Amino acid sequence: MESILAYAIAILAAPLFPGIILKVKAFVAGKKGPPLLIKYYTLAKLFRKGSVYSTSTSFLFRMGPAVSMAAAVMALLFCPLAGMIPVLSFQGDVIVVFYIMGLGRFFTILAALDTASPFEGMGSAREAFFSMLAEATVFMVLILFYRLNGSLSFSGYFSGDNPITLTGPNGSLLLLVIVSMFMILLTENSRVPVDDPMTHLELTMIHEVMILDHSGPDLALIELGAFCKLIFYSVFIAHLLVPAKALEGPLYDVVFVVAVGAIYVAIGITESIMARLKMNLVPKFILTSFALVSFAAILTTMGFI
Amino acid sequence: METFLLALGVLLAGGVFPLLTHRLFNFMKAVYIGATVCGCGIGLYAAGISLRSSEIVSISWPWLHIFMLSFSLDSLSAFFLIPIFSICPLAALYSFHYMNKGQQSGRTAINLFFFTVLIISMALVTTAGNIISFALAWEVMSVSSFFLVMYEYQREATRQAGYLYFIFAQAGAMFIFAAFAVAYSHTGSFSFAQFAGIPAQVKVLIFFLALIGFGSKAGIFPVHIWLPHAHPAAPSHISAVMSGVMIKMGIYGIIRIYSLLEVKDLIFGQSVLVFGMISGLLGIVYALGKRDIKKLLAYSSVENIGIILIGAGTGMIGVYSNNAIMAGFGFAGSLLHVLNHSIFKSLMFMGAGAILQKTKTRHIDQMGGLIKRMPLTGKSCVIGAVSISGLPPFNGFIGEFMIYFAAFEGLGVKGPTAILMMLAIISLALIGGLAVTCFTKVIGVAFLGEPRSDKAASASECGFAMTAPMVVMAAACVIIGIIPEPFINLVFLSLRDIHGFSAVPPDVIAGLARNLGLAARLILALLALSLILQRICYLGKEVAKGPTWGCGFTRPTARMQYTGTSYAMSVADFFRPFVKVNTVYSGIKKIFPRGTTYTTRVDDIAEITMNQGMVGPLLKVLGKLRWIQHGNIQLYFGYIILTIVVMLFFI
């Protein structure tokens, strides 16, 4: 029951956190910035509206938002939130979760190609390419965690006798994982330096250009899905940041939420101090994250750790 | 076994029928389909009996006084009979509307006859109990499929593809027979049962000879070259069966020879795994670079064979390291993927055939917008594409998940195995990502958006005999995905007779199957919920229609759409050392440039290497020997006599 409550809170709070990113960016730029609840206002506005559908599109265009939303919501089900156990968990659920996200991407790409727009085709080609590379990093992380912990589920990683934590005997390896998972977070959620959610030129976009033709509640569903996905990755990293057994009870939960917030602040700072990478540098950026984790994983096979 | 023979009898009767009645075109096809469906139904029943009872039934009779033909049906054979007997009748049904040229009734009848021969020979390959019967069935299978590929023999490209296939089939068979010959020279018997007693070093030789031979049938990189030529040349239901079912006979051969030799050494699993990873990765990268939809699907078969081999290799390594879970799930995932691939690949080929019939083109960049014009074909193909990309909640994911599970289990094994397993997992992940790219391209470019040519714009849905098999297969993809328990139990049941395989704890299998089913049903439920939410949000809202947002440009044309080639190019480019991207660009000249051309093509390095390294020098040498062939019959007889005389010295 507790976990279902936490799950509901996570979904409801998901639109809050991107507001933090905007505030941080505004603060760095010396501006006042939009209100913290801006994303709720946006969602409410979108849900009130109707839609314009392109005459080129088919039923797949309408399915895209629903699938990407369902996939993101499903991923959160398996994710332990703060000190709670996840709603669902079984050996191998990590593979299911990352493949479910792949399903969401599959239909987002199809919806984009359904519009017959060259820009959206270009965006989907980039999305497919970059996420393919990101998948390699994610699975390398899973390999490393399996070597450290022998588990294949999110709840198994952070609980039990041998949890994955910074203060554990292999904590140093986790520093590499944290950095590369943060890079994957930026990639998968279309943040700077991979993609710029604020850009106004269709040619330079990745994710934003794929959803150009979606409007009204459809767009709201996509946005909500994106917020859930972002919070999923942030929670994942927060689990690595906050040592599992150092604190107990409500204090742990508070620290955990602060850690999640800190990750959003870090995204905001990254966006403020960096420009978007040139498109041909993005694969190198993702491969860097892959190299970092591979390094850690190979160390475990050589008997050093 | 009698039921099995009855099935073959019914099939054969159905196959001979068209030869006698080809003048009554539709009647012939209808009776043929009826007989094939009946025969395959009986065959499935026979396979079911064999899977349920644990005894191995066999039958044998003498042939030419000196040979024994023997056939036996164990659980592994029975499993491979399932795709044969379930996909082939669907393909036969499909041919009813696909082979619709009444004026070619004679040729169609011959095609149907050879199709039956192919079904029977595949069934015999899986049940062959000794060297002689295996070799016979294998050759009949290769030759009958050669005739099926050659259906449109008037076309130059078809003939070339057919000959290429024939050379590969025969060269592959040569390796298999060489393996058998080596085995025979050590056992002195045609029976498979004595393979286990062969000395260990010889076993290595036998296994690798057989691996090359079976690999060329299965389409393992680099001996996959015939696939992308033969599949586009053959009629689509033939490509469906060849790609979905026949190439699996190569996989059957590899697993069977592994089980017969009773080998455990690491080298076998390692090499199968490495070949699997190479085939999987390069297969899907080439598939991505192709514009011909049937070529693309052929390369995707190479990829799926790769996934199957990754599973089998993991299983073999599991047997070596006495890890029951790794061995069990490796082999089981591999076999389940055999079944799954036979379903979704046949589905995709039939979809390609439907498009080909309506648009008269295989060029993916000439299609577009077909899902509105061919809704049933389109929807089935979307399900097929999601399944073939290995995404939940459909069947492709179940098999891949089991292979992942085995490979992760293998990470705990000491030594170099852990590194190999890491590579296997990363390859599977990359293959998954690339397959998503590849099949979003197929669906997105061929079925979605605006039609890119007049023929695509005027396409219409094809006949029920073509859509019905596709719908059935799409339904099968969904059912295996959301109710995986019986199918997972089925593959574990069929592993029973593999040597060196120890039982996996049933609670692990049951738990995993239950969880996978739960996850698949959950995502479907969530999807239904969000679709309902979406519907509610639009209640009473204004929904307008308009043109696609062209970023300010108001006169878009269908030719402005992103092409499949550009969609795939950045990925193909990324794999450049292994993929040759050929670009010809005329450049822009003068102040008012005209006639600018830009073509780009992705070439297969295996094919280039084979052409340059083998075919070229071979032609050079053989060209010098051409004087031997002068057309003088008397001298040819002289050659024969000379050969016999020389041979006499060796006796």
User: Tens digits of per-residue pLDDT, A109-138?
Assistant: 999 999 999 999 999 999 999 999 999 999
Q: Any chain B CB within 8 A of the CB of A303?
A: no
Cross-chain CB nearest to A55 (options B422, B518, B546): B546
Q: Give the pLDDT score at A57.
A: 93
Q: Which ipTM score applies to this complex?
A: 0.96
Using pLDDT thresholds of 50, 70 and 90, give the confidence band for residue A192. Answer: confident
Q: Give the pLDDT score at A303.
A: 65
Kindly state the average pLDDT of the residues B614-634. 89
Q: Give the pLDDT score at B508.
A: 92
The residue to which tokens 């799926």 are assigned = B304
Are residues B98 and B353 in contact, defined by beta-carbon separation less than 8 angstroms? yes
Q: Any chain A CB within 8 A of the CB of B513?
A: no
Give the whole-angstrom CA distance, residue B33 versus residue A247.
Answer: 70
Q: Any chain B CB within 8 A of the CB of A116?
A: yes
Can you spell out the DSSP letters for B42-63? HHHHHHHHHHHS-S-EEEEEEE
Give the whole-angstrom CA distance, residue A45 versus residue A151.
Answer: 43
For residue A246, pLDDT over 70 is answered with no
Q: Any chain B CB within 8 A of the CB of A291?
A: no
CA atoms within a 13 Å half-sphere pointing along the CA-CB vector of B224: 32
DSSP bridge pairs for B60: B70
Q: Any chain A CB within 8 A of the CB of B423?
A: no
Q: Give the pLDDT score at B476.
A: 97
For residue A244, pLDDT over 80 is answered with no
Give the whole-angstrom CA distance, residue A126 versus residue A105.
Answer: 12
Nearest CA in chain A to B570: A129
Cross-chain CB nearest to A70 (options B443, B523, B538): B523
Residues of A in contact with B408 (CB under 8 A): 142-143, 146, 152
Cross-chain CB nearest to A66 (options B393, B440, B530): B530
Per-residue 3-state assignment (H helix, E strand, C coil) for chain A:
CHHHHHHHHHHHHCCHHHHHHHHHHHHHCCCCCCCCCHHHHHHHHHHHCCEEEECCCCHHHHHHHHHHHHHHHHHHHCCCCCCCCCCCCCCCHHHHHHHHHHHHHHHHHHHHHCCCCHHHHHHHHHHHHHHHHHHHHHHHHHHHHHHHHCCCCHHHHCCCCCCCCCCCCCHHHHHHHHHHHHHHHHHHCCCCCCCCCCCCCHHHCCHHHHCCCCCHHHHHHHHHHHHHHHHHHHHHHHHHHCCCCCCCCHHHHHHHHHHHHHHHHHHHHHHHHCCCCCHHHHHHHHHHHHHHHHHHHHHHHCCCC
Return the structure tokens found at B463. 């006949």
Query: Distance (Å) from the C-alpha of residue A32 to the closest C-alpha of chain B?
Result: 31
Backbone angles phi, psi at A215, to 5 degrees: -145, 170
Give the whole-angstrom CA distance, residue B76 versus residue B546.
Answer: 56
B567/A105 touch (CB, cutoff 8 Å), yes or no: no
Interface test with B, best of A107, A124, A135 (most B CBs within 10 A): A135
Among B252, B15, B27, residue whose Cα is nearest residue B118: B15
Are residues A232 and A79 in contact, defined by beta-carbon separation less than 8 angstroms? yes
Cross-chain CB nearest to A217 (options B440, B522, B534): B534
Q: Give the pLDDT score at B303.
A: 96
Kindly state the average pLDDT of the residues A280-301. 92
Residues of B in contact with A139 (CB under 8 A): 425-426, 428-429
Query: Distance (Å) from the C-alpha of residue A135 to the closest C-alpha of chain B?
Result: 6
User: For strand B543-546 and strand A51-54, is the pairing parallel, antiparallel, or unpaired?
Assistant: parallel
B574/A283 touch (CB, cutoff 8 Å), yes or no: yes
Query: Distance (Å) from the C-alpha of residue A216 to the closest C-alpha of chain B?
Result: 9
B543/A119 touch (CB, cutoff 8 Å), yes or no: no
Cross-chain CB nearest to A116 (options B426, B436, B558): B558
Are residues A166 and A147 in contact, defined by beta-carbon separation less than 8 angstroms? no
Q: Give the pLDDT score at A163.
A: 84
CA separation, residue A125 to residues A134, A139, B348 (Å): 14, 22, 22
A56/B537 touch (CB, cutoff 8 Å), yes or no: no
Give the whole-angstrom CA distance, residue A173 versus residue A62.
Answer: 43
pLDDT tens for each residue of B330-362: 999 999 999 999 999 999 999 999 999 999 999
Give the whole-angstrom CA distance, residue A217 versus residue A62.
Answer: 11
Q: Any chain B CB within 8 A of the CB of A176?
A: no
Give the whole-angstrom CA distance, residue B132 versus residue B396.
Answer: 36
Residues of B in contact with A105 (CB under 8 A): 436
Query: Distance (Å) from the C-alpha of residue A91 to the closest C-alpha of chain B?
Result: 8
Helix (H, G, I), strand (E, B) or coil at B190: coil
Among A78, A98, A101, residue whose Cα is nearest residue A90: A78
Helix (H) or strand (E) holding B601: strand B598-604
Number of CB atoms found within 10 A of residue A87's CB: 16
Cross-chain CB nearest to B547 (options A51, A54, A152): A54
Q: Any chain B CB within 8 A of the CB of A269?
A: no
Using pLDDT thresholds of 50, 70 and 90, give the confidence band for residue A165. Answer: confident
CA atoms within a 13 Å half-sphere pointing along the CA-CB vector of B282: 24
Cross-chain CB nearest to B401 (options A54, A92, A212): A92
Give the whole-angstrom CA distance, residue B479 versus residue B394.
Answer: 8
Per this entry, what is the length of chain B?
A: 651
Q: Give the pLDDT score at B616.
A: 92
Query: Distance (Å) from the C-alpha of residue A304 to the closest C-alpha of chain B?
Result: 14
Query: Distance (Å) from the C-alpha of residue A126 to the closest C-alpha of chain B?
Result: 8
Give the whole-angstrom CA distance, residue A128 versus residue A134.
Answer: 10
Q: Any chain A CB within 8 A of the CB of B389?
A: yes
Q: Any chain A CB within 8 A of the CB of B368?
A: yes
* Residue at A78 is within a domain: yes
Please work out, in degrees rounded to the nearest 5, the angle formed at the alpha carbon of residue B85 by the alpha carbons of B82 and B86.
80
Q: Which of residues 610-649 of B touch A (CB under 8 A)?
A: none
Residues of B in contact with A128 (CB under 8 A): 433, 436-437, 440, 567, 571
B522/A77 touch (CB, cutoff 8 Å), yes or no: yes
DSSP bridge pairs for B72: B58
* Residue at A305 is within a domain: no
Q: Give the pLDDT score at B11.
A: 95
* Residue at A24 is within a domain: yes
Q: What percent of chain A has pLDDT over 70?
A: 98
For residue A305, pLDDT over 60 is answered with no
Give the whole-angstrom CA distance, residue B202 versus residue B183.
Answer: 8
Q: Any chain B CB within 8 A of the CB of A132?
A: yes
Using pLDDT thresholds of 50, 70 and 90, give the confidence band for residue B7. Answer: very high
Q: Which of residues 572-601 of B touch A (CB under 8 A)?
A: 574
Kindly state the average pLDDT of the residues B141-145. 95
Kindly state the average pLDDT of the residues B144-151. 94
Q: What percent of chain B has pLDDT over 90?
A: 76
Give the whole-angstrom CA distance, residue A189 versus residue A35.
Answer: 22
* Residue at A38 is within a domain: yes
DSSP bridge pairs for B421: none
Kindly state the average pLDDT of the residues B112-117. 96
B368/A116 touch (CB, cutoff 8 Å), yes or no: yes
Are residues A123 and A196 in contact, defined by beta-carbon separation less than 8 angstroms? no
Kindly state the average pLDDT of the residues B181-186. 94
A99/B574 touch (CB, cutoff 8 Å), yes or no: no
Kindly state the average pLDDT of the residues B118-146. 95
A146/B538 touch (CB, cutoff 8 Å), yes or no: no
Query: Distance (Å) from the C-alpha of residue A284 to the closest C-alpha of chain B?
Result: 11
Which string of b and e fits B172-183 if b means at least 16 CB within 10 Å?
bbebbbbbbebb
Interface test with A, best of B402, B562, B569, B574 (most A CBs within 10 A): B562
Expressed as residue numbers, the domain containing A272 is 2-300
Residues 6 or more apart from A83 whose CB is under 8 A from it?
Answer: A248, A249, A252, A253, A256
pLDDT tens for each residue of B76-102: 999 999 999 999 999 999 999 998 888
State the DSSP code for B452.
S
Kindly state the average pLDDT of the residues B180-206. 92
A100/B523 touch (CB, cutoff 8 Å), yes or no: yes
Residues of A in contact with B382 (CB under 8 A): 60, 110
Residue pairs between chains A and B whose CB atoms are closer than 8 Å: 244
Are residues B451 and B558 in contact, defined by beta-carbon separation less than 8 angstroms? yes
Helix (H) or strand (E) holding B267: helix B266-289
Give the whole-angstrom CA distance, residue B403 versus residue A212.
Answer: 38
Are residues A269 and A28 in contact, defined by beta-carbon separation less than 8 angstroms? yes
Number of domains chain A contains: 1
Q: Any chain A CB within 8 A of the CB of B550?
A: yes
Nearest CA in chain B to A221: B534
Q: Which of residues 271-310 of B touch A (CB under 8 A)?
A: none
Question: What angle do the packed helices B324-359 and B293-320 form, to 10 degrees?
Answer: 170
pLDDT, averaged across chain A:
91
Query: Distance (Å) from the C-alpha of residue B286 to the closest C-alpha of chain A?
Result: 15
A113/B512 touch (CB, cutoff 8 Å), yes or no: no
For residue B373, pLDDT over 80 is answered with yes
For residue A304, pLDDT over 70 is answered with no
